[in-house]
């Protein structure tokens, strides 16, 4: 995860999962490997990057006027 928010989300996910397993009286699962979530990170970065390029291009081609 390139930003700290990704690690915070991962920690919250592990807390919720750990509590769920405790309620079901199962052994605690192994920690989540952040490198396995990198394709999700790449996808989100691609989507946000495409959105930024689209809006900048639209603003340069047809700027908002009053």
> For the chain, which residues score pLDDT lower than 50?
none
pLDDT on residue 3: 62
- With a threshold of 0.85, does the pTM exceed it? no
CA distance linking residue 42 with residue 28, whole number of Å:
29
pLDDT on residue 21: 95
DSSP secondary structure letters along 11-57: HHHHHHHHHHHHHTT-PPPPPP-GGGGHHHHHHHHHHHHHHHHHHHH
pLDDT on residue 53: 97
| CA nearest to 28, candidates 41, 20, 37, 18 | 18
């Amino acid at each position: 995860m390139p930003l700290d928010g990704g690690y915070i989300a991962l920690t919250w996910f592990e807390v919720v999962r750990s509590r769920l397993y405790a309620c079901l009286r199962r052994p605690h699962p192994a920690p989540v490997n952040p490198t396995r979530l990198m394709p999700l990170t790449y996808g989100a970065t691609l989507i946000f990057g495409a959105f930024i390029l689209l809006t900048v291009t639209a603003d340069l081609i047809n700027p908002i006027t009053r």
